[in-house]
Structure 1
Amino acid sequence: MAAHYLEFERPIAELEAKIEELQRLSETAEGGAMDAEIAALRARAAEFRVKAYANLDPWQKMQVARHPERPHFVNYAEGLIEAFVELRGDRKYADDQALVGGVGRFRGRPVVIMGHEKGHDTASRVKHNFGSARPEGYRKAIRLMDMAENFNMPVISIIDSAGAYPGVGSEERGVAEAIARSTQRCLTLSVPMVCLITGEGMSGGAIAIAAGNRVLILEHAVYSVISPEGANSILWRGSRTAEEAAKAMKITAHDLLKRKIVDRIVPEPPGGAHSDPAAMLQIAGDVLEEELDALEGLTPDQLRAARSERFYAIGRSGL
């Protein structure tokens, strides 16, 4: 599969195309005649990548957050969770594969893990509805959280969604009510809950599984009540651009940390999570383990009180 390059990555794409061309030529050359040139180009591409990702504006961050090759929930579950068993269905209507969850062991610790799954190709994107959950997805999340509380297991939540699905059937079956109840269940849990925003964290579809004790965000992920395109359309009647909206909305990890909407920024490998998924999983796993260890000794009352205070403080801050 050909690599997917963003607009600002064009110089990197050109260098890597040149590297591939030289590698093909070197196969027919004698004694690695082009090895030095290939190594120099690789070093230059790596340097370009580091510089490009060190100075991203909010709209570029939005593009990176949506990159199709970023690790998704299935990658985190496979890479971090031993003996993962998926649990399906909301026991009321259906199974929604936009929101996936189950049980397993995270570095020896029994956990419930759930999150949005966007899919990685056409078939899986359709299957997972591009990560936009219907009411059944959020009712499944509630079921998983109920089970976590019953068996005293911490909850890990992976957030990456452009928002809940707004279709007619979704509205008829009460998506707003399902989101509200899922948010409420997060806030009332008596077990630790750590949330990690890995790509897009948009609207109620994100907060429904992100009202935890600790809210973490990857370095190039975004978190907002609405997408930049939606803000431009609804708030500005289409008179501006999504790029202008992204800059005005303060959706980047550093803006969110400054306003105490998130608790911690998780660094990504040079070039973003999609450039080295294995390294990203290792970094995320280490941070999740640290956060769960820190919450381990708290009582149920302390966990609920800290969670409530965390979110009340956002409203009191007058952002």
Structure 2
Amino acid sequence: MAATLATRGAARVRELAPGMLTSAMVAGAAAFLSEHYGAPVMLFALLLGMALNFLSDDGKCKPGIEFTARSVLRLGVALLGLRLTVAQMAALGWKPVAMVVVIVVVTIALSVLAAWLLGFNKLFGLLTGGATAICGASAALALAAALPAHQQKEKATLFTVIGVSALSTAAMIAYPMIAQLFHLSPQAAGIFLGGTIHDVAQVVGAGYSMSRETGDAATVVKLMRVAMLLPVILCAAMVARAQGTQPGEARPPLLPWFAVAFFALACINSTGIVPHALQQGGNEASRWCLVIAISALGMKTRLKELASVGIKPVALMIGETVFLAGLVLALLRWM
């Protein structure tokens, strides 16, 4: 029995290795370009992956690319739990927590409605709204993993990742100027930046470019938004179950394993028993898993197909981003 399992395991590794190694190499190249040219690593990973999309048709690389785009992605989402602690969220009081819940719920609800009015599948609104309201590319990938499969799912996911990465970079530059224009205090500016910019890296960059106090507040608020990933994934999983399955397919679980792992790691991290070095290692592993996975997703997509989406999805994502910024500014006035 043990020998048979070992033989099967070795055969599986040989089957997956070419595609996984190729995805890792693309991710490494994307990281190099990101460090030297300052653009989001996710965007470079996508573009380089799409340039190598012919590999997804290759018999040797295809199984590993499929595995990386699915399973490595979910592992990266699970490890995001090591970024969170309850103490971080409690430090700013209940008002920012309430604000984060409001902006996530309202933004996603409005995005689903807008997608429906524009003639898109409502799941596309959930995907773009979740990416905008929670944590950018990471949320898009996590939601895509939980949502039911459909013909346009991969193209919609990649479009969303490209959109939130580009908009997040633009926000990192523009939003500190908006905070100064409205004469926001350092803590209020941090709440604004953390509550509006899509990706964690851009939040950190924008916050600490203003002051340490602003950067600290922005980072904590952003992590609160990351914590909203769990209930939103649960909702996406419920949607997947409600839509049923194709003949021969297993019914998806109510809560995917990576969402359970995300919550468990966040709880363990909140106890304070996780060494700082392990936290840093988990965060780095999560980042690499997501970059490698998005490289694989890029290899599964042709640029011509992605370019055919038209202007309406672009308008939807820009509208979501502008609405989120306006909503957070309005809530700050009220608070």
When normalised by structure 1's length, the TM-score is 0.27
* Higher RCO, 1 vs 2 (CA within 8 Å, ≥6 residues apart): 2
- 1 or 2, which has the higher strand percentage? 1
- 1 or 2, which has the higher helix percentage? 2
When normalised by structure 2's length, the TM-score is 0.26
CA radius of gyration, larger in: 1
